Structure 1
Amino acid sequence: MRPPSSISRRAWLMGAGAVVAWASSPARALMAQMDGSAAASTDLNALIARMTVEEKAGQVTLMAAAWAGGAANALNPTSPSRASFRQQMDDVRRGHVGGVFNGNGAEMARQMQTMAVEKSRLKIPLIFAADVIHGFRTVFPMPLAEAGSFDPELAERTARIAAIEATAAGIDWNFAPMVDIARDQRWGRGIEGAGEDVLLSRIMADARVRGFQGRAGLAAPDAMAACAKHFAAYGAAEGGLDYNSVDVSERTLREVYFPPFQAALDAQAATIMASFNELSGVPATANHWLLSDVLRDEWHFDGLVVSDYTGDMELIAHGFAADAREATKLAFLAGVDMSMQSGFYMEHLPDLVKSGEVPMARLDQAVRRVLALKAKLGLFDDPFRRIDPSREKTLVRTPAHLEVARDAARRSIVLLKNEDDLLPLPRQGKTIALIGPFAQGQRDLVGPWNVYGTDADAIDLLTGMRAVAADPDAIVAVDGSGVDKPIRGGIEAAVAAAQAADIVVLAVGESQTMSGEAQSRTDIVIPAPQMALAEAVAATGKPMVVLLRHGRALALHGAVKDAQAILATWFLGSMSGMATADILFGLASPSARLPCSFPYESGQEPLYYAHKNTGRPNPPGPRVAYKAHYRDAPNAALYPFGHGLTYGEIVYSAIDMGTGRLSADGELTVTATLRNSGRHEATEVAQLYVQDITASITRPVRELKAFQRVTIKPGESREVRFTIRREELLFLGQDMQPTVEPGKFRLWIAPSAQAEGVSDIFTLA
């Protein structure tokens, strides 16, 4: 009888010896009857009982792949002790490593997995992990940009495609999504999250976990385990400085920073990553209250906790551990099950167990969690289920995937300003000068923190605009300036191009190396050489559209701020140029909203809409003496959270709250009318905000409670309807228990967190 095709392919991948070795291995035999949680637990315990303490330490050790691509090496710099591939293969053979991350594709994974299941004593499969933050080979908009779509279905769809592509290259486990709330735009790592708002971050966390893991179970060949990171409050680093200390109240943790993690776990995220930062004096990597009391005892999380890259090693620099041995003990006993990259667990756990400082039961617990994850991923059933060179070649960058990337990029572009309806641009009949360091060329397209996609495979702005325009020759591109250095004669060439054109499109902002991990900025402005270019081009008097390339909210000044039209185009990925051109020329209408507030000045950071009133709020209008305000900037955002224009003209009216009373066990229905008085169809994001006017714990001036995307034709009116229940008004009382108090609440249905829209007051009985 001919064997099934899947077995034939696996045999081709592994070689006959590996197949036979795996089929007869102790691990395979023990796992063969895993048909339920009790059976699985029994089998895992039996396997653990056969392991030496060194093999156990190996299972809780995760190392960067020695055979990795250039991007992986750049993102995770090689440590002095990093092994060669041959040495790493020997560690696999000896059972001294449980998995590797950011490796170099299916062939690397095939060789390493074959070594694990053929040559190691117990033949326990490896787990292969990676940073697949916003796409694999098909690169989607950076997560912060995609959050601006306010569309969780889109986020789930792009995450699903990322999983399909990554698993074809052998990846089982993804170090995403990042669910940190980021309210200080100086912090460069905000690009990986969903911005400043708790509700939006919760919704996007849920969507991305479901996308990465799929809905058919983790054992599906195209499912990869998600890892919610970084636990916790990494985005609250003091001064917006990456890796810096965090000191926030338990109330703030529970009301702001914890909820996105809880949403990820409700979506069944398989793993959690501990954060780099200390939290009120205790580094998260060794924080027993955080990793055990909260995560395990309160939330009942039974999955795997992994450190961030050398997080346990960094306990020494924190001044929390005296040496590597103590750092290992502190991290492990606090609740970090698996150590990433330091090698400390392999080096020190055997002796710590031998001395009695670490109980064998705790080591067995951590090993059980690693093995349980491998079992859930189906690796004990088929260690090669995701290692398939043919899938790796055929399932990446498909036309269908690229079309989703284009759609996602379109839905991530925010129209900040559009005076005199300068946009959309006509596709013919006008000459366009495309000016700026991001006007052309295969650079700064896929964005920060991308391991497998490349700018070389992405479409730049000039290419996209010429593909969409009726007359490609009507678009002339001039760099004019570098990102942070002037070009000799650049401004003169740009001014000449602007004077010869009908319209200027100015592409300025940040390079992709200016955002992301370890890229904090004290002054979140467009670099001076680009500002000089902008001022010179604006002086020609030609109508000017500014396209911002950026990984964070920026403080806009001068000619850039004053341009007639401004689009926030972020880092949009593989189809960047095509998507931007679609919006510029009106083939698609802008519908995204800001997931983070743009300040007037960098010194306003941290800046977020859901702030408290203070005891001396400045009243509307001019500054009043001895009230809370800056001398040199408004108490507001230039462009607030939720802001985004359309090519239509949306008017809010006719709010209706019925009786305006919400009973303790009832619900309140609120409606409003949205009318498109413009000339173009538009997709509006109607946002529901609430303020608890008086409470025993001071509450934010507004909190987002719901939103709806509504498409409205020119001249059409649509009703939006929201339902509010008591549980949506809960907060932590003085006793740190969830409560809500009778009283009055202000409610807005509005197009942003600063817009009035329509509002009224209701009463909670």
Structure 2
Amino acid sequence: MEESKLRELLQTMSLNEKIGQLVQLASDFYSDTNGAITGPMAEMGVTDELVTNSGSVLGATGTRNVKKIIDSQLKNNRLHIPLLVMADVIHGYKTIFPIPLAIGCTWNPGLAEKTAEIAAHEAAVSGIHVVFAPMVDLVRDPRWGRVMESTGEDPYLNSVFAAAFVHGFQGDNLKDDLNRTAACVKHFAGYGAVEGGREYNTVDLSELRMRQEYLPAYQAAVDAGCKVVMTSFNTVDGIPSSANQWLLRKVLREEWNFDGTVISDWGAVRELIPHGVAENEKEAARKALIAGVDIEMMTLCYPNTLCQLIESGEIKESTLDQAVWNVLKLKNDLGLFENPYRGADEAQEQKFVYCHAHREWARRAAEESCVLLKNNGILPINSSKKLALIGPFADHGDLLGAWSWQGDPKRTETLTEVFSAEGINVLTAKGCEIAESKSKLLREAIQKAEESELILLALGESSEMSGEAASRTKITLPECQLELLRLLKPLNKPIVIILFNGRPLELSEVIDDADAVLEAWYPGSEGARAIVRLLTGKVNPSGKLTMSFPQSVGQIPVYYNANNTGRPESENKDEKKYVSKYIDCANDARFPFGFGLSYTSFEINNLRMSKKSITVNEEIRVSIDVKNTGDAAGAEVVQLYIRDIAGDVVRPLKELKSFRKIYLQPGEQQTVAFQITERMLRYWHPDLRFKSDTGTFNLMIGQDSAHTLNDSFYFRATGGMDA
């Protein structure tokens, strides 16, 4: 629809029709027959008129069902305004990919983009227009269950993946490409910094830290063209995001020039009341709309009070009109006025959803996302040996993760099934439930282990133990699984542990007792097949951590890019006490950012720089030689870090600035080159200018954040460079 026609439509809408466009209701509110509301939904105050006028629906899926809802809406809506269909498609629709934290561990943005493209395709042909992804929150506290939805602890890497996911979902021509969906980046902003890792909790960050660490990935998603932004549940500088004018008006709209649609998270507008910034629904609606929330998800503050607020002059109708325009524009950008069904197509749904080609991509993503944490040479396994496959995940399809609402664990192959399909005989025993010990299961597991030559131990968290509302204070494996390991260890059989989980775990009781540990995360629909291929050496592990694993929960948050202190332990080796350290634990992570082993070995050497000093418009070419010194082909992620030695504010000990993932045959050597530019040296200053300044910088290149080759260079700014 032409913009002029869209403006005319807005002008013909009644006040109630406008307000209705700002309301999002769950699909349960739409009856199978005529849209009538009954039972508990009626008690919430939802009327037939509100359903008829509502602008978007949450969680409707399946072509036939979606078309039925849309048909009813078009029939009953006076102006025949099409309905937006939105859903949680976090890391796949029916074909489930590894959780986003695992996808981050691929260090492969192109692969991440492909997973989003496939997820969009399956969602689009099933009737969905907007997906609530990607989540780009920076995460440093693994107690928070939603770290599984992020790609990790680094602002730069998160930004790269944010852009890749957005482009994967939306493509280059969203209006005409009916196999794509609009992306909704979330949760804006700072949700990953909730205090104590406790879900929905307070966030208290300085503006400087917000801009330096937590906002870049959101901005990258906006720059990539995402159509929708979702507000977070938390406060920002004492004000909940859904009422935060600085966040939604100044930063998002004015500074970043976002012209899309802002939606609250589920119930977040009404939650301004328990937050304590609104006395009632009327004040909540006023603050949210003025702040810039265009769509209220699943509470009724807008329809219950906006009419009164506008008639009383407390809110200008022009403010309402702008919000409605943002919604109508999104519908127009999706081509819904011409084709309200968009990509919904039953034949295409049957053909492509969970198809073989999509599952093959899921397998590849799982293979690249698994991280080998330890290996004393026992992997890859010799499948001719007598193997015992033990643990609650040995024959379990719970490999999809908490957000895989359309995934089917019953259709997900288990490790036992894949071993059998590959013709590899394994003795399988559960050993224990995921969180419950049973003596009968323990006895059976010990018997099978005694008969074997090698034990494969499949342990982890159930999908409900991570994700939203799944914060944990104790991030070890459940006690019954640790007990199982303790009972198997005295058998003196080699033990390979495969971990299924949605967060970094505290593995102090696991690592030393295992001969090898493979971090598999929740690997998705083809996770079991990928793991068997990794264990048997058909695929060489190449995953690298994007979130540090702590040695103890007491270290949290522990992350590689921390600031230095005035008494750093590393620079005061002779001082035994009065330095920044624990007296009962080392400062370092158990497994640092960027870490991951391979079945081969890589040697990185011959770091060289084209020059040692640059000015604003110059670049340094940095080269390093990488050689596969082992016997297997494999992939290595070469990581470049920079440290600003002295800034106007304290700068991190190191910051990831670039990386390359390369594939090498045995004995093959490749030169990897990077360009260092002035833009890579910028940071937020006390006056909130984003600029570079003169000084010495350390350069570090290596296989992970803790092991690097180092050099330095000097940069001379001409009065500082603003972004």
Find 1:662's aligned residue among 606, 614, 617. 614
Find 2:229's aligned residue among 269, 272, 278. 272
1:448 maps onto 2:399 in alignment = no
1:60 maps onto 2:22 in alignment = yes
CA distance in 2, matches of 1:79, 1:545: 54
1:184 maps onto 2:141 in alignment = yes
CA distance in 1, matches of 2:595, 2:40: 48
Which stretch has the larger CA shift, 404-413 or 534-543?
534-543
CA distance in 2, matches of 1:349, 1:181: 35
Counterpart of 1:59, as a letter, is Q
Counterpart of 1:303, as a letter, is G
Q: Tell me if the contact between 1:651 and 1:675 (Cα under 8 Å) persists in the aligned partners.
A: yes
Q: Tell me if the contact between 2:129 and 2:342 (Cα under 8 Å) persists in the aligned partners.
A: no
SS in structure 1 opposite 2:382? coil
Find 1:425's aligned residue among 370, 375, 381. 381
Find 1:715's aligned residue among 663, 667, 688. 667
For residues 351-430 of structure 1, the aligned pairs below 5 Å read: 351-419=308-376, 421-427=377-383, 429-430=384-385
Counterpart of 2:418, as a letter, is G
Find 2:10's aligned residue among 43, 48, 65. 48
**Equivalent residue for 1:505?**
456
Shift of 1:67: 6.6
Which string of whole-angstrom CA distances, capped at 9 and with x for unpartnered residues, describes residues 183-202 of structure 1? 11111101111110111100
Shift of 1:451: 1.8
CA distance in 1, matches of 2:105, 2:512: 21
**Equivalent residue for 1:494?**
445
Q: Tell me if the contact between 2:499 and 2:521 (Cα under 8 Å) persists in the aligned partners.
A: yes
Q: Tell me if the contact between 2:371 and 2:597 (Cα under 8 Å) persists in the aligned partners.
A: yes
**Equivalent residue for 2:68?**
111
Q: Tell me if the contact between 1:66 and 1:88 (Cα under 8 Å) persists in the aligned partners.
A: no
SS in structure 2 opposite 1:178? coil
Q: Tell me if the contact between 2:174 and 2:182 (Cα under 8 Å) persists in the aligned partners.
A: no
Counterpart of 1:688, as a letter, is L
Which stretch has the larger CA shift, 48-57 or 481-490?
481-490
**Equivalent residue for 1:746?**
698
For residues 502-651 of structure 1, the aligned pairs below 5 Å read: 502-619=453-570, 624-651=576-603
Question: CA 1:380/1:56 → structure 2, altered by over 3 Å: closer, same or farther?
Answer: same
SS in structure 1 opposite 2:704? coil
**Equivalent residue for 2:720?**
none
Counterpart of 1:579, as a letter, is A
Question: CA 1:395/1:90 → structure 2, altered by over 3 Å: closer, same or farther?
Answer: farther
SS in structure 2 opposite 1:226? strand
CA distance in 2, matches of 1:328, 1:82: 20
CA distance in 2, matches of 1:491, 1:661: 64
Counterpart of 2:618, as a letter, is G
Which string of whole-angstrom CA distances, capped at 9 and with x for unpartnered residues, describes residues 372-400 of structure 1? 00001000011122222222222201110
Q: Tell me if the contact between 1:102 and 1:451 (Cα under 8 Å) persists in the aligned partners.
A: no
**Equivalent residue for 1:82?**
41
**Equivalent residue for 2:719?**
none
For residues 83-162 of structure 1, the aligned pairs below 5 Å read: 91-93=50-52, 95=53, 97-162=54-119
Which string of whole-angstrom CA distances, capped at 9 and with x for unpartnered residues, describes residues 327-383 of structure 1? 111111111011000022112111111111111001111111100000010000111
Q: Tell me if the contact between 2:56 and 2:86 (Cα under 8 Å) persists in the aligned partners.
A: yes
Find 1:218's aligned residue among 148, 164, 175. 175
Find 1:230's aligned residue among 187, 191, 196. 187
CA distance in 1, matches of 2:175, 2:390: 47
CA distance in 2, matches of 1:294, 1:394: 43
Find 1:672's aligned residue among 624, 635, 641. 624
Shift of 1:758: 1.4
Shift of 1:658: 3.1
**Equivalent residue for 1:692?**
644
1:343 maps onto 2:300 in alignment = yes
Shift of 1:619: 2.2
CA distance in 1, matches of 2:221, 2:510: 42
CA distance in 2, matches of 1:319, 1:640: 39
Q: Tell me if the contact between 1:68 and 1:102 (Cα under 8 Å) persists in the aligned partners.
A: no
Which stretch has the larger CA shift, 615-624 or 321-330?
615-624
CA distance in 2, matches of 1:357, 1:731: 40
**Equivalent residue for 1:462?**
416
**Equivalent residue for 2:261?**
304
Which string of whole-angstrom CA distances, capped at 9 and with x for unpartnered residues, describes residues 120-176 of structure 1? 211101010000001001010011101110111101101000011001111001111
Query: Which runs of 5 or more structure 1 residues have no equivalent in the other structure?
Result: 1-30, 35-39, 70-77
Shift of 1:91: 3.9
Q: Tell me if the contact between 1:89 and 1:115 (Cα under 8 Å) persists in the aligned partners.
A: no
CA distance in 1, matches of 2:344, 2:418: 35
Q: Tell me if the contact between 1:196 and 1:596 (Cα under 8 Å) persists in the aligned partners.
A: yes
Shift of 1:87: 7.6
Q: Tell me if the contact between 1:218 and 1:224 (Cα under 8 Å) persists in the aligned partners.
A: no
**Equivalent residue for 1:7?**
none
Counterpart of 1:644, as a letter, is G
Q: Tell me if the contact between 1:222 and 1:386 (Cα under 8 Å) persists in the aligned partners.
A: yes
Query: Which runs of 5 or more structure 2 residues have no equivalent in the other structure?
Result: 32-36, 717-723
Question: CA 1:598/1:622 → structure 2, altered by over 3 Å: closer, same or farther?
Answer: farther
Question: CA 1:68/1:602 → structure 2, altered by over 3 Å: closer, same or farther?
Answer: farther
Shift of 1:601: 0.5
TM-score, normalised relative to structure 2: 0.96
Shift of 1:439: 0.8
Which string of whole-angstrom CA distances, capped at 9 and with x for unpartnered residues, describes residues 44-82 of structure 1? 22111111100001001011111799xxxxxxxx99953
Q: Tell me if the contact between 2:639 and 2:704 (Cα under 8 Å) persists in the aligned partners.
A: yes
Shift of 1:220: 2.2
Q: Tell me if the contact between 1:67 and 1:108 (Cα under 8 Å) persists in the aligned partners.
A: no
Q: Tell me if the contact between 1:538 and 1:559 (Cα under 8 Å) persists in the aligned partners.
A: no
SS in structure 1 opposite 2:528? helix
Q: Tell me if the contact between 1:227 and 1:270 (Cα under 8 Å) persists in the aligned partners.
A: yes
Shift of 1:214: 1.6
Q: Tell me if the contact between 2:61 and 2:128 (Cα under 8 Å) persists in the aligned partners.
A: no
Q: Tell me if the contact between 2:461 and 2:477 (Cα under 8 Å) persists in the aligned partners.
A: yes
Q: Tell me if the contact between 1:445 and 1:572 (Cα under 8 Å) persists in the aligned partners.
A: yes
CA distance in 2, matches of 1:180, 1:100: 25
CA distance in 1, matches of 2:713, 2:342: 56
Question: CA 1:86/1:135 → structure 2, altered by over 3 Å: closer, same or farther?
Answer: farther
SS in structure 2 opposite 1:352? helix
Counterpart of 1:132, as a letter, is V
Which stretch has the larger CA shift, 613-622 or 170-179?
613-622
Count of matched residue pairs: 710
CA distance in 2, matches of 1:680, 1:245: 48
SS in structure 2 opposite 1:539? helix
Question: CA 1:695/1:762 → structure 2, altered by over 3 Å: closer, same or farther?
Answer: same
Counterpart of 1:244, as a letter, is N
Which string of whole-angstrom CA distances, capped at 9 and with x for unpartnered residues, describes residues 494-528 of structure 1? 22211211111111111110000010111111111
Q: Tell me if the contact between 2:143 and 2:471 (Cα under 8 Å) persists in the aligned partners.
A: yes
Counterpart of 1:437, as a letter, is P
Counterpart of 2:380, as a letter, is P
1:437 maps onto 2:389 in alignment = no
**Percent of pairs identical after alignment?**
40
Q: Tell me if the contact between 1:89 and 1:112 (Cα under 8 Å) persists in the aligned partners.
A: no
